[in-house]
Amino acid sequence: MSKITGVLFSLERNTMGRLLKIAIDGPAGAGKSTVAKLVAEKLGYVYIDTGAMYRAVTLQALMDKIDMRDETSLTRLAESVGLVLRVDEKGNTRIVLNGVDVSFQIRTPLVSRCVSQVSQIPGVRQRMMQLQKDMAAGGGVVMEGRDIGTTVLPDAEMKYFLTASVEERARRRYAELLQRGFTVTLEEVLADMAERDYIDAQRAVAPLKPAPDAEIIDCTGMTVDQVVDIITSRVSGRSG
């Protein structure tokens, strides 16, 4: 049975007034994870990386050699997998899959190539979405993904959609993969990212798109700190 550790609901660090739900969406490589984590740190909120949850299911499916087109088996896997999210002493979200910390393994290029296939399956999304809603029930969370503002938390008080040119997003992801020790080319990363953008935008269930009431931030040419400052300044005005 999937479970989430209580640390995700520990919000004593908050010092910004009433607890809000903050949704940050956008395509791969737009900087959502970095921005969301820093925003959460500044506000004393809990950062929830929903993409990591789908990646963990994808990793288990790869290890079990499940066909990525087998919706029944993948749904059954999502409903039964042992999934724990922990926040370590540095504020990093650690992903524990069936008792093993897989925070590094879920970021491999292979998982990145397959995760969009897994995440578009209705049964998988339904299971993950329910867990995500439960995590955010008390507010005081910064949740990032691809359908947070539109589907997971349509009632979020603050919604942002981060984007950037596919070339800039590919360069960012390429540098990140090299830093982690993976051997890839920029051309491979760019091709994978373009394919993932297409799959995410065209899927029938919860496609990637801005919520009608989301503020769209084009991060092309912007620093992470600039984006974080924009969001935290907005939140400060709403949460007092």
In a domain, 234, yes or no: no
Percentage above 70 pLDDT, the chain: 91
Supply the pTM of this predicted model: 0.80
Q: Which residues are annotated as a binding site for ATP?
A: 26-34
Counted domains in the chain: 1
In a domain, 162, yes or no: yes
CA-wise closest residue to 82 among 15, 131, 17: 131
Name the least confident of 81-85, 130-134, 154-158: 81-85
Whether residue 4 is predicted with pLDDT greater than 60 in this model: the reply is no
* For residues 204-224, average pLDDT: 90
In a domain, 193, yes or no: yes
Q: Residue 128's pLDDT is what?
A: 92
Confidence of residue 55 (pLDDT cuts 50, 70, 90): very high
Q: Residue 239's pLDDT is what?
A: 56
In a domain, 77, yes or no: yes
Confidence of residue 7 (pLDDT cuts 50, 70, 90): very low
Q: 143: which residues sit within 8 A by CB, 6+ positions away?
A: 21, 22, 23, 24, 36, 48, 50, 132, 135, 136, 152, 153, 156
In a domain, 2, yes or no: no
CATH classification at residue 67: 3.40.50.300
Contact call for residues 238 and 20 (beta carbons, < 8 A): yes
In a domain, 31, yes or no: yes
Tell me the C-alpha distance between 28 and 26, whole Å. 7
Beta strands in the chain (DSSP E): 21-25, 46-49, 83-87, 93-97, 100-101, 141-145, 158-163, 215-218
User: Angle of helix 109-119 relative to helix 50-63, nearest 10 degrees?
Assistant: 100
Confidence of residue 49 (pLDDT cuts 50, 70, 90): confident
Whether residue 12 is predicted with pLDDT greater than 60 in this model: the reply is no
Confidence of residue 202 (pLDDT cuts 50, 70, 90): confident
- Structural domain of residue 205, as residue ranges? 22-223
In a domain, 119, yes or no: yes
In a domain, 191, yes or no: yes
Q: Which residues are annotated as a binding site?
A: 26-34
* For residues 211-227, average pLDDT: 94
Of 101 and 5, more confident: 101
Sheet of 93-97: strand order equals 83-87, 93-97, 100-101
60-75: per-residue pLDDT in tens?
999 999 999 999 999 9
Terminal Cα-to-Cα distance of the chain (whole angstroms): 39
Whether residue 32 is predicted with pLDDT greater than 70 in this model: the reply is yes
Beta strands in 2-104 (DSSP E): 21-25, 46-49, 83-87, 93-97, 100-101
Q: 43: which residues sit within 8 A by CB, 6+ positions away?
A: 14, 15, 16, 22, 142, 232, 235, 239
